[in-house]
Structure 1
Amino acid sequence: MRFFVILLCMSLTVYFLPVAGQVPHSPGPPPALPRPARPDTARVRQLLQAAQQWSTADIPQAIRLSQQALGLARQLRDSVGVGQALLRLSTLHRRHNDFALARRLARQAQALFVRQHDTEGQGRAWLQLSLIDMLQGNPVPALASGLKGLRLAEQAGDAQTKIRLQATLGDIYYKMGSYDEALPALQIALAGGQRTHDQQVTLLALNGLGNSFQMLKKWPQAIYYYQQALALSQQLGDAIGETGSETSLAEVYGLQGNQAAALAHGLRAQQLVRATHDDYNLPAVELMLARAYLLAHQTDSAVALARHGLQLSQQARSNENIRNASDILAQAYAQRHDFAQAYYFRNLHLAYNDTLSGEDTRRRTSRLRYDYELTSKQAQIDLLTKTRQLQAQKAARQRLQLNGLLVGLAGVLLVAGLLWRNIYLKQRANRHLNEMNTQIAAHRDQLNRTLTELQAAQAQLVQREKMASLGEMTAGVAHEIQNPLNFVTNFSDLNVELLAELQEELAGEHLSTSARENIQQLLEDLTLNQVKIQEHGARADRIVKRMLEHSHPSSGARQATDLNALAEDSLRLAYHGWCARNKDFSATLTTDLDPHLQPVPAVAQDLSRVLMNLLTNAFYAVTEKSKHAPATYRPEVQVQTRQTDHAVEIRVRDNGAGIPLAVREKIFQPFFTTKPTGEGTGLGLSLSYDVITKGHGGALSVESQEGEYCQFTISLPVTVGEMVERAVI
């Protein structure tokens, strides 16, 4: 059996107190208490809080403060403060090895809680009594007190005390050698401590699990839980808990034969005990080191430490430490062949071992466990019996209510028959009224549809009239501009020729060098100006021609158009036209036409203009890119058609230089162009956009990645109604 569990329990049970708050881990004194004008219950709580703070640094001082709190609480007739002070004093005297006084104080607190019918306080008092018996090595009364406290904590709904009792019971089962019962109880306590962030319960459960796995010789699990307990003790600054974990690790490594690790952890534990002047835990640490020296066959050191540990344990009346010390001494004297002493200490070991974990002890603890479970089940049976009685009374009341309901139901049925006749007549009248309403609603919907169609037709006529007027005005303006523009371009051509002749005439004249240079410079400037006038006149001439082309009247009549055939023809015509102007040009033409494309109502002439313009722009883009691209670049222009649910799409894609993002939103604006000056009018995409959106109720969009590709998508509605509606909108 293990001897260092008492060490761990002693270090943790100081926290199992009824007063809230955390115990500081620094040994320094707490701040001075304020002095109220007159004594009251708040002063009692302050004294108890100060006692809790002193409990880790100076137990006598903590006892004095608790006694002051007890006296003041009795003077004020503060029953709550009296109970808390009694439990605090019991804890402090238990830690000071005065178990008799600790037990008497706990009994007084228990009697007080019984008189007050305080179930929660009774549970905490039984927890205190269970800890006292466990530390003295009396497992039977410890288990009895723990089970009583557990039942009371369950009744009071005191989750914290219940978790702490689970941890205590698990430790008791371990010390009795009932590891199958200890492990589940300790696992429950560990989960509860982690869930409620109760670090002290978590620490106690970790050490208990390590102890149980060690006795089952499952070394990896034991070392794992001991290391977790050691880390938590260091985190909390709990030197006593750290001592217990170091002691446990030393024994496990010793049992595994790792004497170096065992001695290292044992010496660390001894160092902690001496540093904290922990006289209570000194016997357990000395016995652990004695066992380590015994395993290393250093019998002299083992005997010296074990004898001193036995003496201290007998003074403290710690039965478990006495049993462990006698076991170590029996083995040590046997190794030294001093069989008389070995026989004496073996008999002493057997006597104390029978007290702690003999057959009678197991039988009595099993009986206690059985009584606890029987009491719990009896309480459940009583609860079920009361529930059945209540259910029977409820059923009787329900039967009476049912009989009354049946009588009332008969009267209700009679009234319902009369009401049904009235309802039937009203429903027949409502059906007739609903039929009339349905007819009226259908007639109204028909009128609304007719009105919508008339409004759409009217809007279309207005749009056509606007477009016709705009075309006439555009044609008139273009014609008026074209005549003076022709004079400008013609006279600019003539001026270029005259300037050339003037230069030839001046070449034959005798002039000074400076005069000739000045005249030559002026002639060159005039020639350059005439060339610029000629270029911009030509550009204006193209704009006028485009305006005239746009103002050409079209039939405006939409006919079912095969877009696949229109796209193929436009691609072929645009390609041949571009090749005629650019002799060295060649490109890959790709078509991806939907074979299931249905005819679309459209003006074929206008759509052909749009496609020719988009394709011409595509050929221009790939031509410009090929001038600067590597030799591996292959120009490609693709035309694709697709059928969607409500529209038909035509896509024109090229692998040219693409359109920069900064200008992509402006390309459909009139007179905006990305081409160099003189090469574009800025009207092609603008006119195409108007034809698609206003003339056909469709959409024209662009998608591009600079340096990679550019794709224009034409989307046309598949019905005339949708086309007219979108055009109006």
Structure 2
Amino acid sequence: MKSLLLSAALLAGLLAGLERVGAQTPKLDSLERLIRQAKTDTGRVNLANAKTNLLGENNLDAAIELSKETIKEAQRIKYKRGETKATLKLGVNYCLKGKFPEARTTLRTADQLLNTQEDLSMRCDLYSGYGVYYGMQSKYDSATYFFEKAIHIAQQINHPSLSNFYQNIAVSYQMQSNHKQALAYQQKALALGEKAGNANAQAYSLMNMGLTYKTMGDLVRAEQTLYKAISMARKAGIQNVELYAYSNLSNLYESKRNYPKAYQFASKAAVLGARLGDQGIQAASLAKAASALGHQNQYTKANSFVEQALVVADSARQPLITYQVYAVKGELQHLQNNCREAIPYFEKGLEALKGSDIYEEQIGLSYRSLSECYEKTGNYQKALSAYKTSTGIADSIRSKENIQQATELIMNAEFEKKQLAARAEQQQEKAVATIKQAALGGGLVLTLILAAVAFSAFRSKQKANVLLQQQKEAIENTLTELKTTQDKLIHQEKMASLGELTAGIAHEIQNPLNFVNNFSEVSTELIEELEEEQQRPERDTDLESELLNDLKQNLQKITHHGKRAGAIVKGMLEHSRSGGGEKQASNLNILTQEYLKLAYHGILAKDKDRVTGRFNAELITEFDPNVGQVDVVPQDIGRVLLNLFNNAFYALLQKREQLSLVTTGAAADEPSPYQPTLWVSTRRVGNVVEIRVRDNGTGIPESVRSKIFQPFFTTKPTGQGTGLGLSLSYDIITKGHGGEMSVDSDTDQYTLITIKLPA
């Protein structure tokens, strides 16, 4: 996916007469020679697909035409794998070209072709293609869902495009202002590129990282990284990365109010975008050039550029690009105090983003400008509404920063607290040493001249007492300061937790709702297709059946994600409940046994349709008869146990599926070396009762082990967990029962959860 911050933008008049052909590269020359010399038809198709990949980086139109020819050739020789690969690439290039109906049809064709083949590598490419399809339409939650599926398989089979998948999912996170996740995936992609010595992957990664630094406000590092990306792109001969870097540099210089340089790089991006046939970035670049000119009061020339940008943007059919161009048109009118003329352009631009998942500061600024225009034209109700929207977007972006700042404050306060405690300890030691010295000195004086200096010794003792009292008061003051600091730290931790919880609630509920909206839109399109087919004289019953099947699947997905939203709300209500149940003497062994059976039967019911075979785990229990009766709230402890058992079974299922992916192609009757096993035990140790739950599943990486009890933190993929289960369980054990809950794990080996309750 192109780094969507094609929020770049800019130029036009320079485009007249440009030839829209990509530069011929040595790699393309070499591939053309190999194609002419190919001795087999299948070899010729494979080489043509490789040529399509290179052309896509420099000339989308040529790449699309070559894919169509390759598909026909593969069909002629009945080479299914080559046809599938060419169809996949054609679907992705249609997305980049902004031809989304053609892209959807082509990707669905590739999906049908893949259903007859066992090819995990191309299955990854298909999921990535769907991710690009949704991402280019600014539906980033859906894009993230498919990129995660691609990455999950790609990591198992060491897919050569894993670096690309990391970069694409990073763009989705970036466009939702989740800079931390975006940067983490970009760093993974860069590391893979550096390890493989792949200049292409490094150039893409550096370009996207430069963009992330820019949006985080680190303009110095952003500028350096983007220039480095341009250098690497030229070295690798990939003009589209050079194009995106120019576009992002234009954004960077505009944010620094260096409008001449912003115009310079926007112009370069517009010229190169036209040459490569990339209408989206061409339109954005024309608009950005117009914006830079407008800020230099060159309105006539700026209006000429933005009018050309509007024509190209309508052809590109990309929501983000459409918004950018119309927003610039509105801003030019706003800069000239033509508020009434500016309003329709702002409205049309923001309407293009309806239903998208973008959380960008620039959108908030557009709403702010629109609010000012409404106010100046006397429409105060709309002015207030637009102002509230702009404030909400700004608050949404700042909330992430507030959490980070709160964390930094807590860390600083902890450090100061340690320093304060160290100084208090030093003062106390100094006081004791002083007293000892005073006592020793007094003893020597008394021994040598007891009678002669009795009065002097008395005065020395008085001084020592005064000094001791002063030091005691200083220590007490220090302890008071420490307690005050501790109270402030606790308050800061509560506020930081509240901020994280609020942000988590908003994000977790928005995610399934976005899925419901997206699948509803697709279902409406399917119904329209079905109605058209039914009105034809000669109806295609196979197509109707296929459309009905797709519609059924979409409705199932809508139901699934609706239930997800309900589960999230239910989980939050449980998490906030103080717990009104009363403790009663309960047989912990029987309670544990009952919920273990309940969880196992539940997982068997859910697993019946899995393609990797029916799930069968070995359950090993060891219950200490000395545990006896324990005072607990049975319903709450049951909820904890059920959550732990479900998590364990999930880890066993995941490991089984991962191993099945790795061993695909082995003999069907070959026994699996992996036996999913769950150990559950209880024991009494003095006045404490322990419950231990251990599985031999996927384990928990050390990097996230400290976070698993945090609200909304989950290692499960999107849609399979809310992140409230372990947090709720931890609160029940520690706050509700005065116990302890801990985790021990080794990645790909085991996970052990230990609960300790007072007996």
What TM-score results when the alignment is normalised by the length of structure 1? 0.46
Larger radius of gyration: 1
- Which structure carries more relative contact order (alpha carbon 8 Å, separation 6+)? 2
